[in-house]
Structure 1
Amino acid sequence: MQRDITVGIIANPASGRDIRRLTAKASVFPTAEKANMIQRLLGPLGRLGVGRVLMMPDMTGIAAGVLRAVQTHHASRLPPWPRVDFLDMKLAGDASDSARAAGLIHQAGAALVVVLGGDGTHRVVADACDELPMATLSTGTNNVFPDLREATVTGLAAALFATGRVAADDALKRNKRLVVSVGARREIALVDACVTRLDHVGARAVWDPATIAELYVSFAEPDAIGLSAIAAAVAPVARDAAYGLRVCCGAGGRPVLAPIAPGVLAELPVTLVEPLLPDVDYPVAALRGSIALDGEREIELGETSQASLRLDLHGPLTLDVPATLAAAARAGGAPGQPGLPFSVAAPSPGGWPHPVDSTTHQGRRQT
């Protein structure tokens, strides 16, 4: 018996709701919109032949909203959606839910997982299953890693890859990551790791620029917001560059202005900027403080173990939505199957090779 093509969905109910609603001008990302985004994913997934969606449950109303929508949709005569199954798992109400869901989705043989969240959510999923491809959708605060894109388009690209219409070589891209080691503990960051002068994890988010001591980034885009914007203001680093950047802050440094949160421009004194080479361990000078991973404090430093960071070029796989759609357009789709079925000849140097029937256009104008 042939198994249904399966796609996973993980929507973090806590994304877009942290303390930066108080310390900055960040807006709240509504639960109802997350449920609506998932519905917009289901349309193209079902249209192109994905038979099953495995979704992480939650206690905030996302899953309940999707379930109601699925029941209403199945009662209509609209094109079918995939069967939506909710993972059988106990919820802890923290990041471990996303990690556990990623593992279950991977074990179920899903072609990929669509993640709705911020940098932190994608970090957790990537760390739990580094070879499970992710389609990224931004629903967090300082989002740099995930795409800010219409869910319908992401769903179309995800379906093209999951159903085999577009091969992995064309659809997927490999990302960098930062590997943080403190004694026997190992964590990753997808965008940035920040050494702060704060001793405790506390409310996790880093909003006071005076507390930033060191910043390590895998990439730094000029139009980004968040801690990586500090590095981008000094020396931008592309996502596909084979290096990262280390930035140190302290008294007497060069003043740098960067948007570290929505509505917040911070001035920081930068004392050192140097490239971060792959597969090299960089020891952290501070023995006290904390380390924020992708904008959220996760590690408290003690005097017994020194922390180190390493840039790894073999990070998680993500779905390249524009490349996937372009590959499908070039291929013209599979004969007799839905989804991008047209093949258009390339234009000649003088323009498109087929003439325009002016009489047809005249007739249209007269009607």
Structure 2
Amino acid sequence: MADALVGIVANPMSGRDVRRLVAQASVFPTAEKANMVQRLLGALAAVGVGRVLMSTDLGGISAGVLRASRQHRPGRDAPWPAVEFLDGWVPTESAVDTVRAVEHMVAAGARVVVCLGGDGTARVAARAVGSVPLLPLSTGTNNVFPELREATVAGLAAGLVATGAVDAAAVTRRASVLRVRAGQRDEVALVDVAVSSALHVGSRAVWDPSTLTELYCTFAEPDGIGWSSVAGLLLPSRRAEPEGVALRLGPGGRVVRAPIAPGLIRSVGVRECRVLAVGETVAVRTASGVIAVDGEREIEFGPGVDPSVRLCAEGPWCVDVRAVLRRAAEESLLVEQDGGLP
């Protein structure tokens, strides 16, 4: 379907937070992010996607893709879809850029939005994507929600869904989210909500377990990274399952040695660990402190605010890359017949 439209948003700031001062996290340079986009473009064209909307940034990703597009020669190089770079506003180098880009892509009729970033970028994109399928690719620090997957394969999956070759309803999964309310603030987390007794936001990243008092997770996989790994090593919960996990942290219970960041394993005291049901609202017990969503401190609160956390099933629809390619194999969608693809 030549008129199929895919959106690509790439965060130039992902993978550059303070955790690199205390951990050995991978670095995704600007050039590699631009190369990932180019690999996406080649794969999208291979399965019939005709148009792509690409976010613009001040970090050099869109500039790198633009230079490559000007050097791209039909007939010599593998074909690309027509690429349109979003403009009309000055990038702010903040989450606002991702929200604006995704909103524009959805309004323009994108059938899939591919998001390059970490957990924080995926969370921001999820707020704006609505019912359009989201395919998050990992280029951040703690990459629990986005997949660490080759962009070429992800591009094939996104293209097969966007063109309708594979039914989106059969290969997308609706993620659960944690909704945090604290006074006038309302935030959503895709992976976890951590409550700290620290008094100020300060550095947005959370890497010191000594101040944490409560932890809530949408899912908790034992082979994950970040704070959700604490729950995953006690009460594993697959992301495909609706229930989450709730923990009270501190001394007096079990101690979990968990990978809270790449190369950073810490002992975390857990006083209580239980299943968190869909629709359950939990009142935060900590009297004052800071609440972090998906690893980034967002909300300061004090006495009288009474924050709460609720597990909801109405998160973004996410493309299951493995399911798409399995369906493609079953239906021979990428197998040549009579000299061409079916």
Count of residue pairs the alignment pairs up: 340
8 Å contact 2:2–2:49 — kept in the other structure?
Answer: no
Query: What per-residue deviation string (whole Å, max 9, x for no partner) do you get for residues 215-238 of structure 1?
Result: 000101111110101111211111
* 2:124 aligned residue: 124
* 1:188 aligned residue: 188
Q: Cα distance 1:314–1:339, how it changes in 2: closer, same or farther (>3 A)? A: farther
* 1:70 aligned residue: 69
Query: What is the SS of the residue equivalent to 1:141?
Result: coil
Query: What is the SS of the residue equivalent to 2:148?
Result: coil
Specify every segment of 5 or more residues in structure 1 that has no aligned partner in the other structure, as ranges.
342-367
Q: Cα distance 1:304–1:339, how it changes in 2: closer, same or farther (>3 A)? A: farther
* 2:21 aligned residue: 22
Rg comparison, structure with higher value? 1
Query: What is the SS of the residue equivalent to 1:213?
Result: strand
Query: What is the SS of the residue equivalent to 1:234?
Result: coil
Q: Cα distance 1:149–1:61, how it changes in 2: closer, same or farther (>3 A)? A: same
* Residues 325-336 of structure 1 aligned to structure 2 (within 5 Å): 325-333=325-333
Query: What per-residue deviation string (whole Å, max 9, x for no partner) do you get for residues 299-318 of structure 1?
Result: 11122321111111221111
- Identity score, percent: 53
* 1:280 aligned residue: 280
* 1:53 aligned residue: 52
8 Å contact 1:170–1:327 — kept in the other structure?
Answer: no
Deviation at 1:75, TM superposition (A): 5.7
CA distance in 2, matches of 1:196, 1:340: 55
* Residues 37-186 of structure 1 aligned to structure 2 (within 5 Å): 37-74=36-73, 77-88=76-87, 89-186=89-186
* 1:12 aligned residue: 11
Q: Cα distance 1:249–1:8, how it changes in 2: closer, same or farther (>3 A)? A: same
Deviation at 1:3, TM superposition (A): 7.8
Q: Cα distance 1:269–1:113, how it changes in 2: closer, same or farther (>3 A)? A: same
8 Å contact 2:2–2:48 — kept in the other structure?
Answer: no
With normalisation by structure 1, the TM-score equals 0.89
CA distance in 1, matches of 2:222, 2:251: 25
Query: What per-residue deviation string (whole Å, max 9, x for no partner) do you get for residues 123-146 of structure 1?
Result: 000012231211121000111101
CA distance in 2, matches of 1:328, 1:57: 32
Q: Cα distance 1:109–1:35, how it changes in 2: closer, same or farther (>3 A)? A: same
Deviation at 1:71, TM superposition (A): 1.2
CA distance in 2, matches of 1:3, 1:202: 48
Deviation at 1:199, TM superposition (A): 1.7
CA distance in 1, matches of 2:25, 2:169: 37
Query: What per-residue deviation string (whole Å, max 9, x for no partner) do you get for residues 163-197 of structure 1?
Result: 11000122211111111111232111001000011
Query: What is the SS of the residue equivalent to 2:102?
Result: helix
CA distance in 1, matches of 2:22, 2:308: 30
Query: What is the SS of the residue equivalent to 1:74?
Result: coil
Letter in 2 for 1:194: A
Letter in 2 for 1:320: D
Query: What is the SS of the residue equivalent to 2:173?
Result: strand
* 1:204 aligned residue: 204
8 Å contact 2:117–2:138 — kept in the other structure?
Answer: yes
8 Å contact 1:47–1:338 — kept in the other structure?
Answer: no
8 Å contact 1:131–1:317 — kept in the other structure?
Answer: yes
CA distance in 2, matches of 1:283, 1:249: 15
Deviates more, 1:251-260 or 1:30-39: 251-260
Specify every segment of 5 or more residues in structure 2 that has no aligned partner in the other structure, as ranges.
none
Deviates more, 1:205-214 or 1:251-260: 251-260
Q: Cα distance 1:209–1:339, how it changes in 2: closer, same or farther (>3 A)? A: farther
8 Å contact 1:333–1:339 — kept in the other structure?
Answer: no
Q: Cα distance 1:269–1:340, how it changes in 2: closer, same or farther (>3 A)? A: farther
CA distance in 2, matches of 1:117, 1:192: 17
8 Å contact 1:48–1:338 — kept in the other structure?
Answer: no
CA distance in 1, matches of 2:210, 2:339: 55
- Alignment of 1:35 with 2:30, yes or no, is no
Deviation at 1:27, TM superposition (A): 3.0
CA distance in 1, matches of 2:248, 2:338: 55
Query: What is the SS of the residue equivalent to 2:242?
Result: coil
Query: What per-residue deviation string (whole Å, max 9, x for no partner) do you get for residues 291-334 of structure 1?
Result: 11111111111223211111112211111111101112212239
Letter in 2 for 1:292: A
* 2:227 aligned residue: 227
Query: What is the SS of the residue equivalent to 2:326?
Result: helix
8 Å contact 1:55–1:87 — kept in the other structure?
Answer: yes
* 1:310 aligned residue: 310
Query: What is the SS of the residue equivalent to 1:300?
Result: strand
8 Å contact 2:199–2:288 — kept in the other structure?
Answer: yes
RMSD: 1.8
* 2:255 aligned residue: 255
